Amino acid sequence: MSEVKFSKEHEWITLEGDVATVGITKHATEMLGDIVFAELPEKGSNVEKDGTAGVVESTKAASDVYTPVSGEVVDTNQSIVDDPAKINEDPEGGAWFFKLKIKDTSELDTLMNKEEYDKFAKETSS
Amino acid sequence: MEIKKTSLNKLHQSNNAKFVEFAGYEMPIQYSKGIIEEHKFTRSNSGIFDVSHMGQLFIYGDESLTEELEKIFPLDLKNLKQNCSKYSFLMNEDAGIYDDLIITKIEEGYLIILNAACKDKDFDILSNLLGSKFKMNLDNNRSLIAIQGPKSVEILNSIINGVDQLNFMTGNWFDSDNQKLFVTRSGYTGEDGFEISISNDKAEKFVEDLIEKGAQLIGLGARDTLRLEAGLCLYGHELDINKTPVEANLRWAISKSRLSNGGFIGSKKIMNQMQDGASQIRVGIKPEGRLIAREKTKIFNDTDKQIGEITSGTFGPSVNGPIAMGYVDKEFSKVDTKILLEVRGKKHPASVCALPFYKKNYVKGVN
């Protein structure tokens, strides 16, 4: 599996072959608070880089989930729809959102590595 | 304008509060445990809320004060006993609501608790209506602390002996730590609880004592989910200048004895609406599944006609599901009516339901 990459919209992404797994970062869940609702893209649909590909809602507000790369949705994680609190518990592990068959691996090059993202998250949250 | 801070601001900070601006004040939205934990702690134990941003208006005067206030509020104040409280409204001539409030008859006058965002305007309106005959004091030297939840009575009584003898919607002055506190048995969470008016310089120590006895600080986030589960209105959401108490389904708060003769501001409109019914009315709304319908969500019937709008919507931690309140056209206001909510461009099924979502635990009669 490839190195974890991060977007400015606080998604993480890993790549295995040509299938990417996307979720939201721990930092994002800390900003959102208790997550009580999740909506995922439809399997088989095509999503475009930086386009919306889901929604999460906390007790406070709704936030869009964006996809860091373009591709076809090949799988979604129904368990976070059934129990959205899992997203707070394990955001960068079991609570992934969707898997994409990606079109253009070079789109990953525009994303941040862990060190860059941690710095970005720290700067933007203060 | 500089943001205002309550006398508990430092205590909020040292308890890791996340702050938001609310009605010009820096207020805690939540502490480190988060809204759901805070909500559940209040329902099962005892939560402390800093509501010092709310207005505490003391009005003193002779018997003519009661007469003058009856020209303003739809209440039978002549028959209100000392230390008893009533929920009411400040309205304009069209019965539009300037603010909702709690008024308590105290020795030689009244104490009115006002919403933070409305208190200065309310003071101006009441000053104009009452003239200079009465002493009015919107007291910024006092903090207001609410303690809510089933263990609150025991905790508060261990610090202010005798509060356990208060009935719901009554209050009294108590002596504690060499000062006079005004305590009412009331609140806005659907739980048994109290509100304590205390001088600013004593507030922090008082709250620290409550925490030591086992109560915990709770932010505005959980205050909102608690009041919504209890089916209670929040000014600026369910209530505003374009809504009347009848439309808000709050006719219970209007004293029956005032409906025959009127004589309060807005009485004509109220009496007409009581007779003919309002065209729109506030209802409880239960979305199907887990969907959350926030404020301003449009409500439709099954033939695509818009029939109303959501005024508050969130996830209710104690009912473990989404809940909402909103206004719908009268013919759709019956419990179990199927409606549709438009969220992110799609229409989702929901139904009109009875309020509250969560059953109240008020203590009705101690004595």
State pLDDT tens for residues A73-114: 999 999 999 999 999 999 999 999 999 999 898 999 999 999
CB within 8 A of A73, min separation 6: which ones?
A41, A42, A43, A44, A45, A46, A47, A53, A98, A99, A100
Task: Look at strands B179-184 and B193-199 and give their pairing.
Answer: antiparallel
Q: Do the chains contact at A81 and B290, CB–CB below 8 Å?
A: yes
Residue in chain B nearest A33 by alpha carbon: B34
pLDDT at B303 over 90: yes
pLDDT tens-digit readout, B174-196 = 998 788 999 999 989 999 999 99
Work out the pLDDT band at A2, boundaries 50, 70, 90.
Answer: confident
Sign of CA dihedral B8, B144, B120, B230: positive
Number of structural domains in chain A: 1
Residue A16 placed within a domain? yes
CATH architecture entry for B9-52+140-229? 2-Layer Sandwich (3.30)
Distance between B321 CA and the closest CA of chain A, angstroms: 9
Q: How many CA atoms does the CB half-sphere of B177 hold within 13 Å?
A: 14
CA nearest neighbour of B339 among B329, B353, B354, B351: B351
**What pLDDT does residue B52 have?**
98
Residue limits of CATH 2.40.30.110 in chain B: 279-353
Count of C-beta atoms within a 10 Å radius of residue B137? 14
Band (pLDDT 50/70/90 cuts) for residue A125 is confident
Over pLDDT 70: what percentage of chain B?
A: 98
What's the rounded Cα separation, in Å, for the pair B22 and B9?
13
* Half-sphere CA count of B308, side-chain side, radius 13 A: 32
Rounded CA-CA distance A91/B34 in Å is: 17
The whole-angstrom separation of Cα A27 and Cα A92 is: 10
| A18 within domain boundaries | yes
Kindly report the CATH number assigned to the domain that includes residue A45. 2.40.50.100
Q: In chain B, what residues touch A58 (CB-CB under 8 Å)?
A: 35
Q: Does B29 touch chain A (CB under 8 A)?
A: yes
Q: CA of B352 to nearest chain A CA: how many angstroms apart? A: 21
Q: What is the pLDDT of residues B324-353, one digit of tens each?
A: 999 999 999 999 999 999 999 999 999 999
CB atoms within 10 A of CB A97: 26
The beta-carbon neighbor of A37 closest among B34, B35, B315 is: B315
Residue A65 domain-assigned (yes or no): yes
For chain B, residues classed under CATH 3.30.1360.120 are: 9-52+140-229
Q: Is pLDDT above 70 for A1?
A: no
Report the distance separating Cα B149 and Cα B344, nearest Å.
36
List C-alpha distances in Å: B311 to A31, A37, B75, B281, B318.
25, 19, 27, 12, 20
Q: Does B287 sit behind a cis peptide bond, omega within 30 degrees of 0 on the bond before it?
A: no
- Does an H or E element contain B228, and which? helix B220-229
What average pLDDT does range B146-161 have in this prediction? 97
Q: What angle do CA B108, B109, B113 make, to 5 degrees?
A: 150
- pLDDT for B3 equals 95
**pLDDT (0 to 100) of residue B1:** 75
pLDDT tens digit sequence for A21-59: 999 999 999 999 999 999 999 999 999 999 999 999 998
Query: B92-149, pLDDT tens digit by residue?
Result: 999 999 999 999 999 999 999 999 999 999 999 999 999 999 999 999 999 999 999 9
- Who among A33, A36, A81 is closest to B292 (CB)? A36
Q: Taking CB atoms and an 8 Å limit, are B34 and A60 in contact across chains?
A: no
Nearest to B221 among A39, A55, A60 (CB): A60
Q: Is the per-residue pLDDT at B88 higher than 70?
A: yes
Strands B216-217 and A46-47: unpaired
Which of B318, B328, B320 has its CA nearest to residue B292?
B320
Q: What pLDDT score was predicted for residue B128?
A: 97
pLDDT digits (tens, 9 = 90+) for B252-290: 999 999 988 899 999 999 999 999 999 999 999 999 999
- A106's CB contacts (< 8 A; 6+ apart) are none
Of B322, B329, B316, the C-alpha closest to B350 is B322
Which B positions 290-309 lie with beta carbon below 8 A of chain A? Answer: 290-292, 294
> How far A79 CA lies from chain B's nearest CA (Å)?
13
pLDDT band at residue B362 under the 50/70/90 scheme:
low
CATH for the B279-353 domain, from 2.40.30.110, 3.40.50.280, 3.30.479.30, 2.40.50.140: 2.40.30.110
Q: Which long-range contacts (CB under 8 A, 24 or more apart) does B80-87 make?
A: B80/B105, B81/B105, B82/B106, B82/B107, B83/B170, B83/B171, B83/B172, B84/B169, B84/B170, B85/B169, B85/B170, B85/B171, B85/B184, B85/B186, B86/B169, B86/B253, B87/B250, B87/B253
Q: CA–CA separation, B173 vs B196, rounded Å?
A: 10
Spatial distance between the Cα atoms of B220 and A64, rounded to a whole number of angstroms:
24
For residue B354, with 0-12 CB atoms within 10 Å meaning exposed, 13-18 middle and 19 or more buried, which class applies? exposed
DSSP-derived 3-state class of residue A105 = helix
| Max Cα–Cα distance, chain A, nearest Å | 39
Query: Is position A111 within any domain?
Result: no
Residue A125 maps to a domain: no
With a cut of 80, say whether residue B361 has pLDDT above it: no
On the question of pLDDT at B365 being above 70, the answer is: no
Choose the closest CB to B314 out of A39, A59, A81: A59
pLDDT of B176: 86
The Cα of A44 is separated from the nearest Cα of chain B by a number of Å equal to 19
Both structure tokens of B362? 């008020």
Per-residue pLDDT at A126 exceeds 90: no
**pLDDT, position B177:** 79
Q: pLDDT tens for residues B44-69?
A: 999 999 999 999 999 999 999 999 99
Query: Is A54 a member of any domain?
Result: yes
With CA atoms as reference, report the closest residue to B361 among B137, B193, B158, B178: B193
- In this prediction the pTM is 0.92
B315 touching chain A per CB within 8 A: yes
Residue B274 DSSP label: H
pLDDT at B360 over 70: no
Q: What percent of chain A has pLDDT over 90?
A: 90
Domain residues for the domain of A54 are 5-104
Contact criterion met (CB below 8 Å) for B331 and B340: no
Domain for residue A22, yes or no? yes
